Amino acid sequence: MSNKPQAWRIAGLVLPLLLVLSVYLLARAQRPLASPAVASEGVSQPGRIVNEVGSGAWCIHQDPDGVYWLGCTESGLFRIAGQEITNYTEADGLAGNNVRGITGDGSGGLLITTTRGLSRFDGQNFSLLEPVDYGQDWGTLKPGPKQVWLILDPARNNPCLFDGDSLISLHLPPAPGLEDYRRRNPNLGYDPAGVYTIYRDRAGNVWFGTASLGACRWDGREFSWLYEDELVNTPAGGNFGLRSIFEDRDGAFWICNTRQRFEFSAEARLEAGFSQLAYSKLPGLPDAGTDNADNFSYFASVTQDPDGTMWLACGTDGVWQYAAGKVHKYPICNGAFTMTVQRDKAGRTWVGTGEHGLHWIDGDAVVPFGPDSL
């Protein structure tokens, strides 16, 4: 008998607990024990040279120079350049030690989102960017390639936009099911409209995945919504949240689970005063049509190679590779929760887990990261 319903229930319980744990971890002081990084001129630089990365690997980024950056839920930011690992924490000016996102700022620097705010890093110093609250004033904004969308704390905050100089905090308009959801759940400890993920598709639309109210597409003019219960809530009853949206090379969208893909119309339909997305469904992975099917799972992260091969971080189900109509599964540390999967410029697959840190896939083996991994 399949153990999937139990696994999904565990996932639905574990993810909120991870959020609670992350709040607790914010109070723990970080005391670097290793030597400070030193520039070639002998001037001390931010950070500490360490021998290993942190255990809660939440996000991975490779910059244009090929340097890897890892964000962890307790131990801050790690720079991985060859065999040298540098750790940055609040002691170095990082906004918080619970890192949730890393991306380029468009000018050669980094933007690092934490549960305590956003840091900009120019390679030498960290600066804190305070958000300017625009409320629901989206009228002066248009989707564009130079915009960098950010989430300061997934499922707890509004979407933010970095325009090259300023950090703008925005509020999504009310979702179709918001008031009903609050009536049914009056004692929520989180915002059901809190944003888990932001994704820009090839047409330039910006998508927002929320904790409990589905997905929203902004085309620069209007907000259109999609809600299906199975995208947010698992069959066993746990709330997964809408954590991942991805457009594949065929133009179909994968949202949260492997059962189906979506094809969306550019035009939306008006229903009960709300703009609703018009769409059709296509099959997702093979053998994913039922709740107990071998290839049905929820994923928190997904990426695709130029040849069409897909990689999905499927929580306690590990990392799945989908190529040429077949699914290959890589279990991670006896059920460790896989948070993110990233393909680098050399074609290596990197995996971040909530409990056991960073791994990479070497052939059929999943290898814990170490200084000699590169």
**Strand residues in 144-259 grouped as ranges (E):** 148-151, 159-162, 167-170, 195-200, 206-210, 215-218, 223-226, 245-247, 253-255
Classify 292 in phi/psi space as left (phi over 0), alpha (psi -120 to 50) or beta.
alpha
pLDDT of residue 27: 40
How far apart CA 198 and CA 92 sit, in angstroms, is 28
pLDDT of residue 11: 52
Q: 10 Å Cβ neighbour count for 371?
A: 14
What 3-state DSSP class applies to 42? coil
Q: What is the rounded end-to-end Cα distance, in angstroms, of the chain? A: 41
CA angle 200, 205, 211 (to 5 degrees): 65
pLDDT of residue 37: 52
pLDDT of residue 145: 74
pLDDT of residue 288: 98
Per residue in 190-242, pLDDT (tens digit) is 889 999 999 999 999 999 999 999 999 999 999 999 999 999 989 988 788 89
pLDDT of residue 25: 40
DSSP one-letter code for 51: S
pLDDT of residue 236: 84
Max Cα distance, the chain (Å): 66
Q: 10 Å Cβ neighbour count for 203?
A: 12
pTM: 0.87
The residue ranges of every structural domain in the chain are 31-129
How far apart CA 115 and CA 233 sit, in angstroms, is 25
Which residues are 274's β-sheet partners? Answer: 271
How far apart CA 239 and CA 10 sit, in angstroms, is 10
Per residue in 99-117, pLDDT (tens digit) is 999 999 999 999 999 999 9
**Strand residues in 126-210 grouped as ranges (E):** 126-129, 131-135, 148-151, 159-162, 167-170, 195-200, 206-210
Tens place of pLDDT for every residue, the chain, 374 residues? 445 545 544 455 445 444 444 434 434 433 333 444 544 344 468 999 999 999 999 999 999 999 999 999 999 999 999 999 999 999 999 999 999 999 999 999 999 999 999 999 999 999 999 999 999 999 888 777 778 999 987 767 789 999 888 899 999 999 999 999 999 988 888 889 999 999 999 999 999 999 999 999 999 999 999 999 999 989 988 788 899 999 999 999 999 999 999 999 999 999 989 999 999 999 999 999 999 999 999 999 999 999 999 999 999 999 999 999 999 999 998 889 999 999 999 999 999 998 899 999 999 999 999 877 77
